[in-house]
Structure 1
């Protein structure tokens, strides 16, 4: 076995090196970026605290504890680690202890001539047998097949660990996005409720003017149509809010019927500012990039496992034990028995099956490398998209704010003019519809900025703060 251990220093198949990836020298949408390699062990931090919402912070703490998808991913990781330990155990000898005790009697009879020439027939006597032995067998990993198998299992386990991190990040970002949608529904409901109150007052004014012959019947109908249409929008918001609330419940591991979030009365969309320069370590933390790279590592090791099929399998074994027909004398030295030896098995002809297994393993590695490179490129694209959207949405929000302010002023002016009998009610209707649309557009763009911030954080593998620079 010592000789076998010395031979085990070699391992067939290629050693793994991280596949090179062609990446741009910098992100064009912002400054301060450089290409990065996977480093998902870097702390991602509690990135959701960037939004400054205590309710969101509490929900994010619950999702890490109760989300069932995370529990499944964590169990898959534990299973992968167990497989590594199982494969590693094959590097060591297997020792078995066996023991047996039997008593038997063979069929048949025998004859015997007794005193006086009497012939008697007797059955064969019963016999006892006792055995105890200790055996060991070992397959020296001369060609490195077992070590390559362990290496592949390690790569798969590390990929599973990265999958768990990715599941956490996905659940956290999904929860944040659903929470934003729920709070946007609350904000939109406050906006429409105030609008409905204003439209109801306008309808009352128009009805009063119609009664005294100042306004036409069509003005009343227009005012009522505008009011009930907005009330319908208000009702539809309840459905949107319920869907977001149900999604949050599932993410934190609760039944939708058992979970309720009270409406927020003062929630205002506040997207966190995106720094002009972000450290390259942020992109390195993406767990999906790490998972793809480690699957390439596992696939590379499988080439060595397949290549080992060209070489003979060698097994060393030995045993030492005792056997006796009497239990009390079982362990007497005279009853000892031992054996040792080796076995060698070499495939002589398999019609090219071993060679094709090697070809298949190499193809699997090429596939894993291509997937890894595509994952990296997709990561760069997602970050570029998020940075571009952050810049565009910030500029758009300025214009939406100005448009909403102007529309509010125009609405008030035309409403005053209508009360003074200077303009037709159709002008008021148009102004009110324009003002409402501008307010909704402003709220929508503010929500899009927050949602895009969440997507950008997920694309970066986590948030940003001073500690990460």
Structure 2
């Protein structure tokens, strides 16, 4: 029994389209399939050994990580970063551009269809080839209305590879957006805690100035009673004025930090201000533990962006390889053509044409070889950048783990030093009142106390900043599964699933 061919009995246009679709579905994509490159990954963090924080990683906030600090003012400012930060907005616009490029690449799967309407009036010649006139010149009018279509079969996977490249680039752009958001939020938190540290130092100087004023009054009383020399009064005045000048100088740093915060939340510096609120003398809250170094590859958006750029570069190799093979395209047109619009749309004026075209480049002076080498070099470059980004991530985690561990130990000793300095001031003042020591001993003890107290405040602020930096280094709760629509985009890019 003879089975008829599936395309038998079809019109020519339908038959050609069916054969082309079959060719497309049986096509293969040239170029290497993507495999994530290896990256140097240690088994564990060196600085994490023997130092565990109280909060496990599985309870870490996957979004609003700043809320771990329990500061309502910081929470309100961080919320504005997502809305008003111009760097984040620029990254969001760049991501929208990348999404549009994905749609542009996918459009090559479909035919291009155009409509053409034309009216021409022409004059024909009236002289024969031997130079003898054969009649008056002829004028003719032609009007046409046609529908044109062209479509290139993706036999070698050029369109698929191009779509893969743009999809990976769009995912990299989405990761860049997350990285920009995390960076802005981290800068905001660091500037905020540094500003609160300056507020604490301003408060420290305010308390110190009150103490120095009492010391000045003490020396004046001692001088009036003939117990102390005039030099003691001058020394006390100098000490007081120096502290007042240093307190005023802190205003410059505070103003600049306030302006930096205004920039991060997208407000003019002249229209933004924060009320003074000294940093509370409590250690920063525990942050999520670092976990395994291998997890960092999925937790940092900059690493994910670099990896997606590698995938995009790998797909571009396939695009460059496809240029070595011939291109099969199908073009067709149909419409009406006649001398007048009155009877243009009639059967005698109908015309149509359809046909495949196979085109191949035989010689291009080495252009395709150069493009192929360039694509491979771009891939190698992106692999190196990816590995460098991974190494940088490990370094940042190690840096901040060591900073948190060491500063925690330092804070214990610093607090002991501060208590000793305060006790020294108390004892020295009593000795001065009793006439046992000179006022120079009091100045030395008070200067030591002020220096030690400033160091304690600075250390506390540094611990808060390091805590923020460690959260940033660990990705701020972000995860690679947050990349948008990877599975959906891949399904849409597969012609077999259309």
Do both share a fold (TM > 0.5)? Answer: yes
User: Are residue 93 (structure 1) and residue 111 (structure 2) matched?
Assistant: yes
In structure 2, distance between residues paired with 1:386 and 1:278: 14
The one-character-per-residue Cα deviations of 1:69-117 (angstroms, maximum 9, x if unpaired) are 1110000000000001001101111111111234x3649999xxxxxxx
- Contact preservation (8 Å) 1:131, 1:323: yes
- Contact preservation (8 Å) 1:32, 1:279: no
User: Are residue 418 (structure 1) and residue 436 (structure 2) matched?
Assistant: no
More moved, 205-214 vs 364-373 = 205-214
Structure 2: any 5+ residue segments left out of the alignment?
1-16, 52-59, 128-134, 479-498
In structure 2, distance between residues paired with 1:277 and 1:11: 41
Equivalent position of 2:318 in the other structure: 304
User: Are residue 242 (structure 1) and residue 255 (structure 2) matched?
Assistant: yes
1:316-465 correspondence to structure 2 within 5 Å: 316-463=330-477
In structure 2, distance between residues paired with 1:312 and 1:194: 83
1:141-220 correspondence to structure 2 within 5 Å: 141-220=154-233
- Contact preservation (8 Å) 2:124, 2:138: no
Equivalent position of 1:62 in the other structure: 80
1:5 is displaced (CA, Å) by 3.0
1:22 is displaced (CA, Å) by 2.6
In structure 2, distance between residues paired with 1:277 and 1:204: 54
Structure 1: any 5+ residue segments left out of the alignment?
34-41, 111-121, 465-469
> Which of 236, 241, 247 lines up with 1:228 in the alignment?
241
Q: SS of 1:327's equivalent?
A: coil
The one-character-per-residue Cα deviations of 1:133-192 (angstroms, maximum 9, x if unpaired) are 111101111111111111111111111000000000000000001111111111110000
1:329 is displaced (CA, Å) by 1.0
1:314 is displaced (CA, Å) by 2.4
Q: Compared with structure 1, are the counterparts of its residues 72 and 269 closer, same or farther at alpha carbon in structure 2 (3 Å cutoff)?
A: farther
In structure 1, distance between residues paired with 2:50 and 2:446: 46
Q: Segments of 4+ in structure 1 off by > 6 A?
A: 107-110, 122-126
Paired residues, number:
444
User: Are residue 51 (structure 1) and residue 69 (structure 2) matched?
Assistant: yes
| TM-score (normalizing by structure 2) | 0.85
In structure 2, distance between residues paired with 1:317 and 1:202: 97
The one-character-per-residue Cα deviations of 1:215-270 (angstroms, maximum 9, x if unpaired) are 12221222112111111110111000000000010111110001111111574454
1:253-292 correspondence to structure 2 within 5 Å: 253-264=266-277, 267-268=280-281, 270-274=283-287, 278=291, 281=295, 284-292=298-306
In structure 1, distance between residues paired with 2:48 and 2:297: 14
More moved, 358-367 vs 343-352 = 343-352
Q: SS of 1:233's equivalent?
A: helix
In structure 2, distance between residues paired with 1:20 and 1:338: 56
In structure 1, distance between residues paired with 2:289 and 2:369: 54
- Contact preservation (8 Å) 2:290, 2:474: no
1:279 is displaced (CA, Å) by 6.6
More moved, 342-351 vs 125-134 = 125-134
- Contact preservation (8 Å) 2:212, 2:240: yes
1:343 is displaced (CA, Å) by 2.5
Q: Compared with structure 1, are the counterparts of its residues 249 and 430 closer, same or farther at alpha carbon in structure 2 (3 Å cutoff)?
A: same
| TM-score (normalizing by structure 1) | 0.90
Q: SS of 1:49's equivalent?
A: helix
1:123-138 correspondence to structure 2 within 5 Å: 127-138=140-151
1:11-50 correspondence to structure 2 within 5 Å: 11-30=29-48, 44-50=62-68
- Contact preservation (8 Å) 1:31, 1:276: no
- Contact preservation (8 Å) 2:297, 2:303: no
- Contact preservation (8 Å) 1:51, 1:270: no
